[in-house]
């Protein structure tokens, strides 16, 4: 039998170690929050100090940051692109994963491995030809970029959905077909409701990526339709000067929605990934 005392000590040591590691992620966010209430000079000179009567700027950084970046417009474009891109990724990836998993053809097996291979291709390798193709196909707009995000998000999403679909008994689909369902109706009425845990996992992972993405929107749609990450860079003044107070405030406003979304749905991440890894 294990010694209860040693077991308790090991648990405490693990908690302490994990708590220290978590500080590396939490402290930077807290520093950004503290500095968002300071004036520009104090953000630069005393970044680790708490705001006081001299350095406290109130909510002026938030107000001026919103005005200077066009935050409301950028928020709207970020929300539009994120919501519809994620919806397309979840829907089409689920359908693709279901089809290639249930089919035994060599084409579907090759397609599955193509999706897996696409997961390791870095965006930087294809970003310049992608920008040119997007321009030629008139995808350099908020609607066209949805198709680009679907292409990039499909690889990991199909991989996750495929693992989950393999754990769904084929007999469930056969019963639906016997009851008169067409394959499409069987998918939406029977299969997709069973994929909800992994669908939420896929939605969370892609939402965090798309909401925070700077490079792809900047290359494809540029400054005409600014998303929040692109808008933040326009806080730069002349000769590279930056009002760090404004920037800290805008960063806090940008991360609040995605953090709230994550904490609302976080329990589904481990549930979905674990269920999808039962069969690979």
At residue 1, the pLDDT reads: 47
Shared-domain flag, residues 170 and 214: yes
Shared-domain flag, residues 93 and 138: yes
CA distance 181 to 187: 9
Whether 27 is in a domain gets the answer: yes
At residue 272, the pLDDT reads: 56
At residue 47, the pLDDT reads: 82
CA distance 7 to 21: 21
Shared-domain flag, residues 29 and 71: no
Please say whether the beta carbons of 56 and 185 come within 8 A: no
Shared-domain flag, residues 16 and 78: no
List of residues 6+ apart from 189 with CB closer than 8 A:
176, 181
Whether 45 is in a domain gets the answer: no
CA distances from 210 to 83, 152, 206 (A): 9, 10, 6
Report which of 249, 244, 242, 202 is spatially closest to residue 228, judged by C-alpha positions.
249
Report CA torsion sign: 36, 40, 42, 45. positive
At residue 100, the pLDDT reads: 92
Whether 52 is in a domain gets the answer: no
Shared-domain flag, residues 89 and 9: no
Shared-domain flag, residues 12 and 100: no
At residue 150, the pLDDT reads: 93
Instruction: Domain of residue 201: give its range.
Output: 60-276
Shared-domain flag, residues 110 and 188: yes
CA geometry: angle at 156 spanning 154 and 158, to 5°?
Answer: 60
Shared-domain flag, residues 123 and 79: yes
At residue 278, the pLDDT reads: 47
Shared-domain flag, residues 125 and 220: yes
Q: What are the per-10-residue average pLDDT scores of the chain (280 residues)?
A: 59 86 86 87 82 82 86 92 95 93 88 89 84 88 92 90 86 83 85 87 90 90 85 67 81 88 74 52
Whether 125 is in a domain gets the answer: yes
Lookup: tokens for 127: 């970003």
Sheet strands (E) in the chain: none
Lookup: tokens for 262: 């994550």
CA distance 75 to 258: 12
Please say whether the beta carbons of 145 and 216 come within 8 A: yes
Whether 191 is in a domain gets the answer: yes
Read off the pTM. 0.83
CATH number, residue 88: 1.10.3720.10
Whether 49 is in a domain gets the answer: no
CA distance 244 to 251: 10
Shared-domain flag, residues 27 and 89: no
Total tally of structural domains belonging to the chain: 2
Whether 68 is in a domain gets the answer: yes
At residue 280, the pLDDT reads: 43
Please say whether the beta carbons of 195 and 28 come within 8 A: no
Shared-domain flag, residues 144 and 22: no
Whether 13 is in a domain gets the answer: yes
Bridge partners (DSSP) listed for residue 56: 38
At residue 279, the pLDDT reads: 45
Shared-domain flag, residues 94 and 16: no
């Amino acid at each position: 039998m294990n010694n209860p005392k040693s077991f308790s000590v090991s648990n405490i040591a693990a908690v302490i170690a994990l708590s220290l590691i978590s500080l590396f992620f939490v402290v930077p966010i807290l520093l950004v929050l503290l500095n968002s209430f300071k004036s520009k000079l104090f953000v630069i000179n005393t970044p680790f100090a708490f705001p006081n009567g001299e350095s406290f700027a109130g909510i002026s950084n938030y107000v001026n940051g919103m005005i200077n970046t066009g935050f409301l417009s950028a928020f709207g474009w970020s929300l539009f692109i994120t919501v519809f891109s994620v919806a397309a990724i979840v829907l089409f990836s689920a359908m693709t994963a279901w089809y290639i998993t249930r089919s035994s053809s060599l084409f579907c097996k090759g397609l599955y491995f193509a999706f897996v291979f696409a997961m390791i291709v870095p965006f930087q390798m294809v970003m310049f030809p992608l920008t040119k193709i997007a321009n030629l196909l008139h995808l350099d707009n908020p609607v066209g970029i949805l198709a680009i995000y679907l292409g990039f998000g499909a690889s990991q999403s199909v991989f996750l959905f495929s693992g989950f679909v393999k754990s769904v008994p084929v007999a469930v689909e056969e019963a639906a077909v016997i009851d008169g369902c067409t394959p499409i109706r069987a998918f939406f009425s029977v299969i997709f409701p069973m994929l909800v845990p992994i669908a939420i996992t896929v939605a969370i992972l892609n939402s965090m990526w798309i909401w925070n993405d700077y490079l792809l929107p900047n290359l494809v749609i540029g400054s005409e339709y600014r998303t929040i990450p692109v808008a933040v860079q326009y806080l730069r003044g002349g000769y590279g000067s930056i009002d760090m107070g404004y920037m800290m405030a805008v960063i806090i406003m940008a991360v609040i929605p995605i953090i709230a979304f994550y904490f609302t749905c976080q329990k589904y991440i481990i549930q979905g990934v674990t269920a999808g890894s039962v069969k690979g």
